[in-house]
A = this chain, B = another copy of it.
Amino acid sequence: MSEFLVIPRQAHDQLVIQAYQSRGFTADEAAEGAKLAAEAARHGIRTHHALKALHLDHLFGSAAGGCTPGAEIEVLPSRFPASERWNANKKLGQSVAYRAINRAIELADQYGIAQIAVDNAFHYLWGGGYVMEAAERGYFAYTNCTSALAEVVPFGGKFPTLGTNPHSWGIPRGAANGFPIVIDWATSTVAMGRVQALKREGKPLPPGAAVDAAGQPTTDPDQVASLLPFGAHKGYGLSLINELMAAFIGGSLPTLRGRAIPPGEKKTPAFYFQIIHPEALSGGDFACGRSQQENLQAVIDDILGHGNDHAMLPGQLEAAARQRSDAAGGLLFTAAEVAEFNELAAELGLPPWDPASLAKG
């Protein structure tokens, strides 16, 4: 009847926290890593839950020198009161991102807009999670980062020199208006994981998504060497923004990220966070006597009206997944995922979750 098993959040968090701590992460870091993983699972983001996070940490992070458990964030001196510059010293990305969002909110409360630029970072996984949290707290939020590997070919080129470089925006809606709007995607047409999935299913890629080893467009997943930006020169421009912002922050050559590097070089990604206080935007002159939030809802109703019943707001699928998770009383995982969590539990010397005794959701 259902494909998912329900893991109570507390059980999930206990296991994930213990996994992070066994790798040397502090209690704070482990809790922040578990929180982002739980929120990803809760919102149906199956590509960025705990199993993926711990796998990435193993491949590129604490086991590979890319991430330093217990590292301290250095807040560098800045002459600009609405801006902070952080050296993350390769601290766990989720910890850095949650703290950056919190700090940027404090600054936006004072200045109306605020930014945090983060150098020497390690993967924060799901950018949408951070801007969603800020939007739920009532703020406009934005983040971008550079990806771990250069897999994307610039528009007009043939060799991959750009990351899949995601952008994430969160737009707040008052309690009466429903879920926060979260616009969150990579600047490649598809992710490399999607290419692997299509290969397994024996299906072609959409046109304009990838090139072969010679830099020629291909829809054959077996021939794919690199990805293409979405929307031709427009998505290319969006991918460039992350690389160039990172260049201003302290990121080095995109083709070095996630690879062996010459002495004196860097291969860390960079993060950028921005928060806007919605009151700082209000001209106070809304039509028909509406409040700011009523005006927002009227605009949304207009956009989705006029017969546009099949159009959706970004964030709607995530909100539906969250509702389903919350109704089920926990986080939803497939039987295969539960088996993988149980392998993790065994490594940590913890008892397994018994699929037969788990609720279905």
A residues with CB within 8 A of B: 76, 78-83, 85-87, 110-115, 117-120, 140, 153-159, 161-162, 169, 171, 181, 183, 185, 215, 230-238, 240-241, 243-256, 264-266, 270, 272, 274, 276-289, 292, 295-296, 298-300, 302-314
Contact = CB atoms under 8 A, between A and B. Distances in A.
A154 B302 CA distance: 11
A121 to B, nearest CB: 10
8 contacts: A117-B282, A155-B311, A157-B307, A183-B237, A247-B299, A252-B298, A253-B298, A265-B287
A16 B81 CA distance: 42
A157 B311 contact: yes
B82 A250 contact: no
B245 A303 contact: no
Given A162-B303, A277-B80, A283-B85, A240 B314 contact: yes
B253 A76 contact: no
Contacts of A114: 82, 113
A250 B117 contact: no
Contact of A117 (B120, B254, B283, B296): B283
Contact of A248 (B87, B159, B169, B281): B281
A302 B161 contact: yes
Given A181-B244, A280-B83, A308-B154, A250 B286 contact: yes
Given A185-B234, A289-B264, A112 B80 contact: yes
